[in-house]
Structure 1
Amino acid sequence: MSAETLNTRVAIRAISPKGRRTREADVKWGSPAVYLVALVLITICITPVLYVIIGGFRTNSQITLDPSGFPSPWQLGNYGDVLASSEFWTAMLNSTISAAGTTAGAVVLGVMASYVLARYEFAGRGVMYALFAAGLMFPVTVAITPLYILIRNLGLVNSLAGIILPQIAFALPTTIIILVPFLRAIPKELEEAASIDGASRLGFFWRMVVPLSLPGVITVGILAFVGAWNGYMLPLFILNDQSLFTLPLGVQNFASQYSVDTARVLAYTSLSMLPALVFFSMFERRIVGGLTGAVKG
């Protein structure tokens, strides 16, 4: 038997149904109870979102007669009215400015602070890192009163800067906790080689550190963006002018104006949360990958 014939038979056996069954048998699907629990949790999370989105395609009479039913017929006028209103696009613009400013500030400051904490030995480094870690235990609701007084003394009440700066401060603890393991895992030999080649500390930081820690940077940027986009408590206390309302405040204001028009309120709510859902879904793997890298580091 020639070597070519033997290779052909081996290839045929590799793609035969028996071989496929062997490989499929090696796959472990886990306990059905785990899939059942996961399905229940997914249903609990998705059902309210689907109810809001589908409710925007109904009329008020349909919601009153059958609150859990499907649209019959489907109505597009509610979404059209919301998209045609200038208040919605103004709130969308304000939320975009707030989220983008918060993300930029949290990422830039977080990378710089994390680099110092991860790469340099100095007195009080552990205490400083512990202070940032302790910041995770203090939500904005706890500090809202002294924070409002501080913002008022700075003259930033009723301005987007008045919510961007505090949001950056509250995003920094998460940013630093995630980025420090990334930056600490960069080999010191790489820094020594760059120094021999004539690279300064800032040059090494911008040319080597930032690109190597890009998965973590993207992760903290996404978390900061989504957190600022969904922020409600801080804008509620700081912003008074309707022209500066972000989308969470816009939903509240719209619901108070059209309290009897439930279908239109549901349409406005679904359009408000849609950008965050799409943004989070697009970068979901980036977030998981970045957090996994942080844990491994």
Structure 2
Amino acid sequence: MSTATELITTRAPRGRRVGARPHRERLPWGNPLVYFIALVVIALILVPVAYIVLGGFRTNAQITTDPAGFPAPWNVENYLVVLAGPMFWQQVLNSTIAALATTAGAVGLGLMASYVLARYRFRGRGVLYALFAAGLMFPITVAITPLYIVVRNLGLMNSLPGVILPQIAFALPVTIIILVPFLRAIPDEIEEAAFIDGASRLGFFWRMVIPLAMPGVITTGILAFIGSWNSYLLPLFILNNEASFTLPLGVQAFSSQYSVDTARVLAFTSLSMIPALVFFSLFERRIVGGLTGAVKG
């Protein structure tokens, strides 16, 4: 025991105790101008959100008298009235169904397509990948008229499937572009070892590919969910019944119905933003980690 202690003591660097924590170098602060610009950008983003949330706790008289002031006194009636309305919860349910279905469809189909593009070699693979990449250059506003005609001919007008299917299609390019580098980075030796152990291609996909690509799967799922939750233009063209509205359309309908009640409109708007803000705040690190892995791959 004493011999081991002597060896540790003799091998320990001079001037440092055994078991002492290594000294961490302080990172340089950098240019103060960068921090100032970052604070300005953060303020430009957060101030409108804070104004909407606080505006819901005010009365119309307070907003008219002092538009930039704080609630005095705080009024929760606007939020209680919105939460007590059945139409708000119906629209929350519609947005949740559309977002979850879009996420499941985009991630499921995108993962299977990415697996083929990343792990198989066939003629036209590069052209097919370029076709999906080109989909990033076409926003939904360009294709809204053809989409409207297709959805109408399919008999899906004024229904959530009429919104979900186009959203899946427009979420696929981003999903594939992010997932393909993840799947390409999986070593071929792992696949060969799995086949030697008797795993089928489908078994390798479920047991090895999906767990290894989970950071990218989570990232694409979050992006698809938030994109569907905030979607406005496509539901505006497809849905025409207030009972089938998603939350963005519900905000527009509510603001039109209560155009003179600014405080209540702000309360409805802030409540419709909270789910997306909370969801994004909880998984923000997952998004950054997934995109970083995609770039490295």
The residue number in structure 2 matching 1:290 is 290
- Which residue identity does 2:157 align to in structure 1? V
Give 1:27 deviation, angstroms: 2.2
- Which residue identity does 2:86 align to in structure 1? S
Q: Which runs of 5+ in 1 are unaligned?
A: none
- Structure 2 matches for 1:84-95, cutoff 5 A? 84-95=84-95
TM-score (norm 1): 0.94
TM-score (norm 2): 0.94
The residue number in structure 2 matching 1:208 is 208
Cα contact 2:162–2:238 (8 A) shared by 1: yes
Residues 1:194 and 1:49: Cα distance change in structure 2 (over 3 Å): same
CA distance in 2, matches of 1:12, 1:31: 38
Q: Which runs of at least 4 in structure 1 moved beyond 6 Å after TM superposition?
A: 2-9
CA distance in 2, matches of 1:12, 1:33: 42
1:154-201 deviation per Cα after TM superposition (whole angstroms, max 9, x unaligned): 000010000000000000000000000000000011111111111111
CA distance in 1, matches of 2:109, 2:18: 59
The residue number in structure 2 matching 1:163 is 163
- Structure 2 matches for 1:51-62, cutoff 5 A? 51-62=51-62
1:73-114 deviation per Cα after TM superposition (whole angstroms, max 9, x unaligned): 010000000000001000000000000000000000000000
The SS at the match of 2:142 is coil
Give 1:28 deviation, angstroms: 1.4
- Which residue identity does 1:66 align to in structure 2? D
The residue number in structure 2 matching 1:191 is 191
Say whether residues 1:11 and 2:17 are aligned partners.
Answer: yes
The residue number in structure 2 matching 1:227 is 227
Query: Paired residues, what number?
Result: 290
Say whether residues 1:46 and 2:52 are aligned partners.
Answer: no
CA distance in 2, matches of 1:31, 1:13: 36
1:270-296 deviation per Cα after TM superposition (whole angstroms, max 9, x unaligned): 000100000000000000000000000
CA distance in 1, matches of 2:20, 2:212: 40
Give 1:11 deviation, angstroms: 3.4
- Structure 2 matches for 1:86-165, cutoff 5 A? 86-165=86-165
1:208-245 deviation per Cα after TM superposition (whole angstroms, max 9, x unaligned): 00000000000000000000000000000000111100
CA distance in 1, matches of 2:263, 2:127: 52
CA distance in 1, matches of 2:243, 2:285: 36
Cα contact 2:215–2:289 (8 A) shared by 1: yes
- Structure 2 matches for 1:268-279, cutoff 5 A? 268-279=268-279
- Which residue identity does 1:11 align to in structure 2? R
Give me the identity figure in percent: 72
The SS at the match of 2:157 is coil
Give 1:10 deviation, angstroms: 3.5
Cα contact 2:9–2:18 (8 A) shared by 1: no
Cα contact 2:92–2:247 (8 A) shared by 1: yes
